[in-house]
A and B are shown apart, each in its own frame.
Chain A
Amino acid sequence: MDTMMREATRLQQVAFALLATVTLGWMAGVGLGFAVAASDNASFVADTSAWLPAALQGVLAIAIIAVVVSLLAIIRRIRIRAHVLSEALPRLLQS
């Protein structure tokens, strides 16, 4: 039970760390988008326009992984809940 609680807490922390990465990623992406729009350098515009959408899809992928990690934390919490209820409910109904 303690192991499961620690796992759930760790997974929640990982999800928040991933969310911080996602936030930094889309902010950098938007900033680069504005930089491309304002730039007169043709090669910078062409190069950045080629890799930026792909990199932003990577940011999207990290966001989806954060969802997966949060769901894994929920699984641990559901297991803990089932264990606690199966221990406590019979005693509550008997009293």
Chain B
Amino acid sequence: MAATAAVNSRPTTATVGGQVSIPREQEGFDMPGMAQKMWRPMLAMGLMTVAAGIVAGIVQAGADTPLRFAQIAAWNPGVLFLGIGFLLSTVTFVLAVILGELRDGGAKVQAALGEQALILRRPWTGKAFPLAMMMGLMTLMATFVIGFIEAARLDTNPSGAADIGAWVGPLRFAGVALVFTAVVLALATILRALRFQSDRVTQIAEQRAS
């Protein structure tokens, strides 16, 4: 597994075990660095939103009129789903932090061996998971707002509210599914990073042996 370097206008790339790698210092946007700053606020927002949804459920149980009961039933699922979305986004961010730890740990080991610190060039899964997470969160925020619109129409236009209720429920699940997609894509990126690390250690050992 000899390293083949190709110099052009883009960062210098090398092939390790069939995977394209770049020198550590040539990496562009530092997604793990941003995730390290973002996961705590996201966790706090998720906890607060879910707690608000639970309190709203208790308030709904004690509602004095059927209309008030139905109105809370219209918007509260949006609150709870948004909270779950924030918490799943926290999982995605922490997975991005794991990717950063694998990258930095691998670079540290290579440097200790006196070798050039190569890292895996970000695969398509690594580019797609932040986008999937953002799309999922935006969908959940939209359904959160739509829930309040539905609740407002219950008083004046009940059939319109029923129409909204028919499609907004599945849309909430679609939002959560997108955030889960982000989690799976991040895990797939971790798998590739682990494979790259074992291939790189094997490559160094073979170079030393020959």
Contacts and interface: CB of A to CB of B under 8 A. Distances in A.
Interface residues of B, number: 44
The majority secondary structure among interface residues of chain A is helix
Interface stretch (A15-23, A30-38, A80-88): A80-88
Contacts of B208: 93
A28 interface: no
Contacts of B58: 50-51, 54
A82 B83 contact: no
Interface in B20-49: 39, 43, 46-47
B60 interface: yes
B120 interface: no
B60 A50 contact: yes
A55 B57 contact: yes
A95 to B, nearest CB: 12
Interface of B is mostly: helix
B91 A58 contact: no
B174 interface: no
Interface string B58-72: 101111000001000
A90 B46 CA distance: 44
A78 B102 contact: yes
Interface residues of A, number: 32
B112 A90 contact: yes
Interface in A43-69: 46-48, 50-55, 57-58, 60-61, 64-65, 67-68
Nearest to B100: A75
Contacts of B61: 46-48, 50-51
B105 interface: yes
B95 A71 contact: yes
A79 interface: yes
Nearest to A79: B101
A14 interface: no
B166 interface: no
A1 interface: no
